[in-house]
Structure 1
Amino acid sequence: MKKSSTSAYVALVVVCFFWGTTYLASRIGVRHVHGIMLAGVRQTIAGILLTSFFLLKGYKLPDKIILSRLFIIGVMMLCLSNGLLTWALQYIPSGLCAIIVATVPIWITFFSYFLVQRNRFSLLLIAGMAIGLLGVGGIFYDYLANMMNPEFRFGIFLSLIACISWALGSVLTARWALKVNFLYGAGFQMLFSGIVMVIAAVFMGQSFPAAALNLELWGSLLYLILFGSILGYSAYVFVLNNLPPSLASVYAYINPIVAVLLGWLILKEHLNWTTGIFCMVTLAGVFIVNRAVIINKRKYEHSN
């Protein structure tokens, strides 16, 4: 096995584990500060660190068109996705949030059909979507009593909007194919979105207790910056460039499991056999969708 392949598999393990733990870290952080402010400060600091690293290495600033598109993608994938998800964690368990996010491949497939290329929906693809949605529906049934709580419903709503925004941003990223280093571009996305979220949080009347010696808050923020944004995203980009996309997508099945187990073990979140089974059903549906997309792509390439 080549050294690059070995490193890529290590990076995949990093993504699978650490991105799963960010739900727990965010859930702890929002105990002390509003989710939009927490996400904004996190992304701003991570963006400054990443862009400064590349600028010090001699990279030039991207042109205005690329910067404007990085801004749009950053707002969609980080403000309206990561920001809203962090806000949602004020109202719903971290494990439930992670399971909802696991449906993102289904949304990406749906929007790709309308915005990129209108391939026919195969029976396998439709079956995968149906199974995935059935799994989510089963999990919601287990939380039926909580749905009477308006704050819980608001958290679910924020999570769904976040998934749709991430999916749309992902499709735009693939469609535009910006000619800029992935990590350098990600740094600008983090910086732009972070600034927007901090400004939005201030207008919402929120503040960040920077002077307060709150170990939970600062520990959560530091973890999210280092392990969620910088290490996690860097590892993910490395995986995408060294392993097949079908293998890289494995993280989408592992993250929710990590998040659910950590939420149950550390935060004593709700977990029973019903939730566990429907979680597996959801992930099975997402897996089938991914397989169907890969098969359809191979058929398209073969026909051309």
Structure 2
Amino acid sequence: MGQNGRDIRVWLALAAVYVVWGSTYLAIKFATESIPPLLSGGIRFITASLILGTVLLVRKGFAAYRITWREFGGAALVGLLLLTAGNGMVALAEQYISSGLAALLVASVPLWLIVLRTVVRDRPHVLTMAGVLVGFVGVAGLSLGGGTSAGTVGIVVILLASVSWSLGSFLSPRIAMPKDPFMASTIEMVAGGAGLLLLGTSFGEHLDIGAVTGRSWLALAYLVVAGSLVAFTSYVWLLGNAPISLVSTYAYVNPVVAVFLGVVVVGEQVTHGMLLAGALIVVGVALVVSTERRSPAVQADASSPRVGSPEPRA
């Protein structure tokens, strides 16, 4: 295929990552209308892992499953941090706050990654730190604007989700992981999904199939197929076929897409304060990404999750 054909595939894959990952916040909102949040995540990731694991078996045979126990444990740990704690808390938080606000706060993940790097004495560029400061001013603005006590609870939970996702992304390239990114993702989704099912059951969540609405089933199916499979596959392909600086733009496009869909589809309220604070987060993340892409040694940490780690809203 010629250069034009490759460029078309790059933009199609980018569109999938932009729109699908941006839309998963609203899909989570719909899915958890009648399916308990932790159980919905568990069902989603276990289902996606079975599909991805089967595809791997058909395409690569049992060779793809030849990994060490250390690699299995590393992928399982990352899955618990990213999906059980990260995605699980996103779903819980959306019981209290809008999908748009959740997306804006989760956009702070690249900022938390820089904080973790600083903790281990890896000094980021001064412009990177400037971006972190600008972004956290936006996070503070959104957090202080929580309003009701329920809104404050949702904001605290979503910030904890962002920190957990950042920790999982930070550890991922630093511990033993399966070499095949799709095998790593399969294990992460198995571990993350199992953790969500266990937590949901422990907290008394119960799935009443008769009470689940058609909209919730459709949203769950969308999250499995589009969020956890199509968009993630597109993301992994992009990492090998497009500049990381271009791929990383998802970090500040996704929240814009999420806020737009929340307003247009379900009429979520967006105040001027939210827009201003959200803009600061997006600007901060953009500054971090654009600065870090010039440093090949750290771009895997600052610009995007490790290959094999699906998005927090995947």
| Same fold by TM-score greater than 0.5 | yes
Specify the alignment match of 2:115 in structure 1.
Answer: 110
Check 1:279–1:213 CA distance in 2 against 1; reply closer, same or farther (3 A cut): closer
Specify the alignment match of 1:19 in structure 2.
Answer: 21
Report how far residue 78 of structure 1 moved: 0.8
Q: How does 1:219-230 map to 2 (within 5 A)?
A: 219-230=218-229
User: Is residue 69 from structure 1 mapped to residue 81 from structure 2 by the alignment?
Assistant: no
Specify the alignment match of 2:251 in structure 1.
Answer: 252
Distance 1:51 1:34 in 2: 26
- The one-letter code of the counterpart of 1:26 is I
Specify the alignment match of 2:305 in structure 1.
Answer: none
SS of alignment partner, residue 216 of structure 1: helix
Report how far residue 160 of structure 1 moved: 1.0
CA contact (8 A) 1:43 1:194 kept: yes
Distance 1:40 1:273 in 2: 36
Distance 2:7 2:280 in 1: 31
Specify the alignment match of 2:304 in structure 1.
Answer: none
Report how far residue 213 of structure 1 moved: 5.5
Specify the alignment match of 1:32 in structure 2.
Answer: 34
Specify the alignment match of 1:283 in structure 2.
Answer: 282
- The one-letter code of the counterpart of 1:133 is F
Q: Which whole-Å deviations, capped at 9, do the CAs of 1:165-215 have from their partners, x for residues lacking one? A: 111111111223634221222112111211121121111111222344620
Report how far residue 218 of structure 1 moved: 0.5
Equivalences, count: 294
Specify the alignment match of 2:137 in structure 1.
Answer: 134
Aligned-residue RMSD, C-alpha: 2.0
User: Is residue 242 from structure 1 mapped to residue 241 from structure 2 by the alignment?
Assistant: yes
Correspondent of 2:58 among 47, 56, 59: 56
Distance 1:282 1:296 in 2: 22
SS of alignment partner, residue 274 of structure 2: helix
CA contact (8 A) 1:5 1:242 kept: no
User: Is residue 93 from structure 1 mapped to residue 98 from structure 2 by the alignment?
Assistant: yes
Specify the alignment match of 2:167 in structure 1.
Answer: 168
Distance 1:43 1:199 in 2: 13
Distance 2:72 2:226 in 1: 25
CA contact (8 A) 2:72 2:177 kept: no
Report how far residue 298 of structure 1 moved: 7.3
Report how far residue 102 of structure 1 moved: 0.5
Distance 1:278 1:265 in 2: 20
- The answer to which of 16-25 and 61-70 deviates more is 61-70
Check 1:23–1:230 CA distance in 2 against 1; reply closer, same or farther (3 A cut): same
- The normalised TM-score by structure 1 is 0.90
